[in-house]
Structure 1
Amino acid sequence: MIQPPNPAATPEHTSPLNAEEALAAAAVAEADALAALTNEVTELKAKNADLADQFLRAKAEAENARRRAEDDISKARKFAVESFAESLLAVADSLEAGLGIQEATREQLREGSEATLKQLKSALERHKVLEIAPASGSKFDPHQHQAISMVPAEQEANTVVAVLQKGYLIADRVLRPALVTVAAPK
């Protein structure tokens, strides 16, 4: 059986004061929600602007650090040899002074050459350029020595017989291997 609608339950039959109060309360709640959302949007915009500013500053700082590092590397490459070249100037001066003597005796030339060689070796050592001059009979090291030939010798096979040209290390890296002859197997 279908019942007729209750006239008291329909909005048309509610009291006008209750409807107005409900609408006013809804409007106030809506206004409060809108104000809260507006405040939240304003706060988020401010945070976004702050984060964007921080990002741009960090990006600029990283770019500046990259440029400074590139400049430092460029200067290091450009002037890396400066200290080494400066220590070789004394060697060049000694050679020029020796060549400037017109009436030098053999002993004077030899003495000057030895002094100049000593200066050169000192300059090389200061810059970690060390000689590779294996002693006769020492084991052949393919990392530091280059065998020019194998010769029969009265010593153990694969040992250095003679050094034909000294080699050099620079900071534990082979600049030039020592050229050696090696004892052949018997």
Structure 2
Amino acid sequence: MQNTESTAPQGAPGAEEGMSAAEAAVQADMEALSQQLAQAENAVAEMRDVLLRERAELENQRRRLQRDLEQARKFANERLLSDLLPVFDGLEGGLAVETADLAAMRQGLELTYKSLLKVAEGNGLKVIKPVGEAFNPELHQAVSMIDSPAHTSGSVVSTLQTGYVLNDRLLRPAMVVVAN
């Protein structure tokens, strides 16, 4: 009997040690999972922070781009208008002169016109001068046709309104009279 009694009390502490080992394993697993969860939460928090910073940066870039576009639209004609200032000065000076000399007045207007054309050409504007050329429906608008023995059929006899091309794009067709 001694053997049975001695084994039973010895078995009880062994069973308790087995339970505590299982509990210790569960506890270790819980701690490992808790650490993994904490790491995952930290990673998510970092990603959320990065995402918020990226969104803010994109929003700032969008606002900057919008502001730059507004500035570009607002001041797009600044160079052209500053080039036109001498033309305005010439016109003001011509209007200030009180003279009955029509030739001098015409000469002043011609100089001002040439100055204006120079500014326009410097900004990509080209004048269409079609007299004597063949009629081109892409650049000319025929207003009328006349019989002209001096001109070949289909050629431009005269221009009623000057046409313009801006940087290789038709701005306004020349209104012309075409030989029949």
**TM-score bracket for this pair, using the shorter chain length:** 0.7 to 0.9
Matches of 2:100 and 2:108, distance apart in 1 = 10
Q: Secondary structure at the match of 1:15?
A: helix
Instruction: Please identify which structure carries the higher helix content.
Output: 2
**Correspondence list, 1:1-186, <5 A:** 15-103=11-99, 105-142=101-138, 144-153=139-148, 154-157=151-154, 159-184=155-180
Q: Which amino acid aligns with 1:109?
A: M
In structure 2, list runs of 5 or more residues that go unmatched: 1-7
Q: Say whether the 8 Å CA contact 1:137–1:156 is kept in structure 2.
A: no
Q: Which runs of 4+ in 1 moved over 4 A?
A: none
Identity %: 38
Asked whether the 8 Å contact 1:137–1:155 carries over to 2, the reply is no
What CA deviation, in whole Å up to 9, does each residue of 1:68-112 have, x standing for no partner?
A: 111111111111122111111111110111111112522321221
The number of aligned residues is 170
1:52 partner letter: R
Deviation at 1:149, TM superposition (A): 2.5
Tell me how far apart the structure 1 counterparts of residues 50 and 26 of structure 2 sit (CA, whole Å).
36
Backbone CA RMSD of aligned residues: 2.2
Q: Tell me if structure 2 keeps the 8 A contact 1:140–1:160.
A: no
Distance of aligned partners of 1:103 and 1:160 in 2 relative to their CA distance in 1, 3 Å threshold: closer
Question: Quick one: which amino acid aligns to residue 82 of structure 2?
Answer: E
CA distance, structure 2, for counterparts of residue 35 and residue 140 of structure 1: 87
TM-score w.r.t. structure 2 length?
0.82
What CA deviation, in whole Å up to 9, does each residue of 1:41-79 have, x standing for no partner? 111111111111111111111111111111111111111
Q: Give how far 1:183 is off.
A: 4.2
Whether the aligned pair in 2 keeps the contact of 1:161 and 1:180 (CA below 8 Å) is yes
